[in-house]
Structures are given as C-alpha cells and as structure tokens.
Structure 1
Amino acid sequence: GIEELTNGYPPLYADNVRLERVSQIVTYSFPVIAMLMVFLIYAFAKRFLQDGAGPIPTIVPFLYIFSPNIVLFSLFPDQAIYPLVFLIGVWFIVTAIQHQSFTWALLLGIFLYGAVFFSFTMLPLYLFAGIYLTLHYCSNRNARQLKKQIMIAIGIGVGTLLLYFIFLAFLNYDFFSRFTRTVTINRNFDFYLRVGRQPPGGPEPLSIRLQQIAAAAWINNLDFAAAIGFPIYILFVIHGIRLLIRLFRGETTSSDTILVSFFFSFIALNLAGTAQGETARLWMFWIPAMVIFASYEAGRYARKNSPALLWFFIMQFITILLTYHFQDLRM
C-alpha cells in the first residue's frame, strides 16, 4: 500500500528508484507517526479515564515511550501505525456506543471493516466493541433499553457488510477467504513447520488444539512481557485482577468498563490461539492498553511520593538498554 501511494500503480520508476523512494518515505514518516501516539494516548486518558485530573494521563505517555519494543522497533507498521489505528478505533467505539445512535453504529461498522482491511491485526477491535457494548448495557440496565443495544449491534453489522460488499464488488476483496487462508498458513507455520512437524491434513483433535492454545498463551505472554518490559506487564496483570474483583462486586465505574473490555479482549486474543511467538511485534497494538493499566498502578505510588515509581522507570530503562545490547540485529 505504501509503495503504491509513493510510486503509483502501475509503478512509474525502475526497481532501484522505487525502493529508494519508499525507503525515504518510511524513514522520515514512520518515526513521526509513531510519536503521535504520545499525544493521542494522553488525550485518551484525559478524556475517558476516571483519574483524568490526576497523575495517570501524565504517566501514560512516559510509559509508552519507555516500552522497549516501541523505542527499539523501527520502521515497522506494527510500531508506527497499528497502535495509532487501534486506539483511534477504541475511541470511536466508546464514543459511538455512548451516543446510543444507530447512525454512529453504522459509521463505526464502516470504520472497523476499513481498519481490518488495512490489517487483520485490527480484528480485536470487533471483540472490544462487542464486550464494551455488553458491559455498557449491564452496568446500568435500568437506564438503557435492550432493544436499542441490539439496534446498535445491527448498525455495526450493517456498516461492516456495506463496506464488505463494496470492496468485494470493486476490489475483488473477499475478507473471509483471505482471512481463512492467512490463519491456516500462520497456524501451520507457527505450530508445525517452525518446530519441524508436518501440518495435519484436517482439523486437529480438541485435546491437541487446547494444548496448543495453552502452550501458545504461555510463550506469547512471556515474549510480549519481555518486549514491553516485565514491570509494565506485571502492573498490567495486577490492575486487571483489581478490575475483575470490582466487576464481580458491582463496583465498576464508566472508565472501569472500558478497561475491563480491554482485559477481556486480551484474554480472548490468547484463547484464539492463532499465533505462537513473535508477539513482540504482532501484539504491539496492545501497548496503549498495557501502559494505561500500568499507569493506574504506578499512579498509586505517585500519589504517595514513593521512590517505587522512580525505580519502576529505572527498571524499564535498564530493560531498554539490555534489549538493545543483546538483540539480534541480523533478524
């Protein structure tokens, strides 16, 4: 897509000139786009988090900058574009559902399918939308009509199908066939070819599939935790547990509903078992949610003027230095 935007289609330049032009665009634009997240994530925290007037919106951008795979992964769409698109999508979802409008839901469905067309990585936005719509209704059933929630879900579906058929007719792009083929290729490589095994000719038995999902969840989370820094990941888990406790006690706030939707979406992503490894790159779009969760826990220490917050940033900085020193630059 970037090459077509840069060089036209069909390309008007020789191969070496095309590569040179694309390299220049990526080299100068991707770092700038990546750093736009600092402003977006601050604005998101200020707008939607309960502690908008406290230290959390200030802490969130710093945690994002101190994530090793954000700082050290350069010139990848996973770093520069996907977190930005994902957080914009979450913002759109929350706003559309809070408006309780069919028109907003229709526009949301169009946006979501456009994001997924851009990258299958954005599929969890649909998960988030479904979970947030459910929790938003359950948190105050007396003030919301179930019929209206169903109409919002239908609006999202209609918007999605509208763009699906437009792309199918004019671009010959069939999401379902491409997604099925992509998932099959990735799963065969991650779970079989990568470990020297022959992919099966048909579906695996349920017991084997469950073992694969459990093993993948373990590897993926270790990989991702090491990539974003174990301090951030640990605080993410701690705050996720706090949120679940508040949810079961019926004590959640409007901002908690957003965060619980993040947490359940992350759990669902693990249970899907579509990938094994390489989550340091593939899951980079989750970093905004991770640092927001971690900021809530870090904010506790900021309010107490505790040196723990300083040590937290020091550990993240050490993680960045060690990752840079020991990373395999040949990859």
Structure 2
Amino acid sequence: MTLETWLALAVGALLGAGAYALYQWREDRKATQANTLVPHRTREVLAALHSGAILVRRDRRAAFSNTPASALGVTRPDGALHPGVADLAEAAWAADAEREDDITVSRGVLGVDSVVHVRVTPLSDDLALAVANDDTERHAAELTRREFAVNVSHELKTPVGALSLLAETIEDSPDDSVMVRQFAKKIRKESRRLTKLIQEIIEISRLQGGESVVDHHLIDFAGVVEEVCEGADMHAEAKQVSLVAELRQRPWVMGDHDLLVMAVRNLVDNAISYSDDASQVTVSLDSSEGAAVLKVIDAGLGIAPEDQERIFERFYRVDAARSRSTGGTGLGLSIVKHVVLQHSGTVELWSKPGVGSTFTIRLTEYTEEP
C-alpha cells in the first residue's frame, strides 16, 4: 500500500471521528438545552397528567412531552411534532394569547383517524404549553345528534303535512259526508303514526342517554314473551297471520321488564307487519350455554344482504313506501338494539329474500329464581 493511500485513510478516519464528535456534541448540547428549558420537577408534573402535555419549542419540536401525548399521536419520543400542533403554537406566539383547535391525527398501522383537541398557551418567547385530549367520541356524538335532528325533522314533516292537507280538504268540502268520513279515517291513521313516532323518538333518546336501566330485577323472560304475544293477537288477526309462541324453557334474566317488553314487541310487530297474509310468525324461547335465546321467525319478504348491515340504524327502512303504509317509523329495530346493549346482550339477524327473517336475542341467563 502506497504512502498516499495510507495518508488518505488516515485523513478519512480523522474526518469521520471529527464528524461523529461534532454530532455527539450537538446532541449533548440539545439535551442540555432541553434540560435547561424544562426543569426536572416540571417534567415530573407533566408526566403525571392524564391529558397529553407538550412543551413546544420555537423550532417546531418538543422540548418535552408525556406518554399520553405520544399515545394520541401528536408527538414522538424523538421530539417530532404533529404539524397541526406546531402551527397552533406559532399562532399562539404571534397573537401572544392562548389558541385552541381540533386536529385530525392518523394513528396505528391502519391509519385510523382520530380528532384531538389541542390548546396552546405561550409561556415565553422560547416555550409554549400544548394540552391535548382525544375528542373523537364527542365529535362522533355531535355528528350523531345532528343527523338525528335532521332525520326527526324530515320524518315529522310527512305526517304533519298529510294532516294539514287532509284538514284543508275537509274544510273546503264540509258537505260531502262520504269524503269527510274517508278523510277523517286518514287523519286518525296519520295521528296514530305521528303519536307512535314521537313516542319512539322519546324512547330512543332515553336509551341513548344510558339512563334507562337504573334498577335491574330478575325477570321471567317467558312471561315477557307471553305478554307481548297476548298484546299482538289483534294485530296478527287483522293481518290473518298465525302467531305461535314456543316456550321450550323459562329462563330468568336480569334487567328492566318494560324495556324488554318494548324490544320484543318491536320485533313481533315488525314480523307481523312484514309477513304475507295467512303466513306464520313464530316466537321461540330457549336456553343455550348459559344464555336465554329468543328467536322471532317470519316467512315474509326477507331482507337483502346489502340492507342487513344497516337494518338497526335509526330511520333506516328497506322499503320506505311499505313502512309508511304499515305505520313503520324506522326506529323499532334501533330501539331493539339499544335495549339489548343496555342488557349486555346481543341481537343478530338472519334473512333471505323470499324466504323470511329470523331475529335472535341472547341475554345472560340467571339460574336463581326470586
């Protein structure tokens, strides 16, 4: 190896060592500056917070951040900041006042979006405190409330508009007794539908509030089925539908009697309404693997696969025209879902167009009778 080669290698090694030393010095300086900016006690306090806490530097990096901030995805352990937090900090410094906003953060390998509310307060020319909280659920609830209000307004317009039109027609032709009687029947029908809609809106609002099941009791589930079937006899007779109750077991469940009656009644009423004349609706009750299993089986139109995933949504109707003709509001199955969830149970649907549908409710069975 020539002298020139040895000299080149030596110079290269010296330059490499120098570069590494310079890098290490800069990193040590950053750590020293960070420790100077953020005292140990301050770090301990911020680390104990449940909210995400970040001390933002002027260079758009974090001087310190706690574990919740990293979990929320607004900062990383290496000091990198979400751009939304850095932008908010710059706005706070520019205004010399607190600034807050919602930022969208993609987290995890699936890139699931979450909404994080961030409030930034300038502390000095060099530091600002950012406090972050997950606001995803509140945003989802707010969106749900807005959609619910829009749907309710839309649903109420139909019967109210029909009642107004019918009343005007009767007012214009009061001497036509035949027409008055016909329209009076329609007014009664629309009034019943409006009353039912309002009642179900009240019920589902209570259920979504999570305050409906306050006091649980041991309930004879078979007694609930018997009560519902007895009350549905007239509806079934009017449709010429055979309503059959098959009580193979009499399981006991823990819950609210009135809410369980409401859920089962909605399933049975739906089954009768959407069954063809002279068909059969079967309500079976059994016990299986520690669960009370209720099945409501009809031989009606059935539900298409693309509709089955949405059938428990509020105001969703497979056939809106038929729903209105039967007095359906689109809230019945949503009420069923919420009642079952409040009783820590499950509700499932099997359906095939042209064959029929089976709704299955499973609730935890209690072996001890009162």
Provide TM-score, normalisation by structure 1: 0.25
Structure index of larger Rg: 2
Provide TM-score, normalisation by structure 2: 0.23
The structure carrying a bigger strand percent of its residues is 2
The structure carrying a bigger helix percent of its residues is 1
Higher relative contact order (CA 8 A, sep 6+): 1
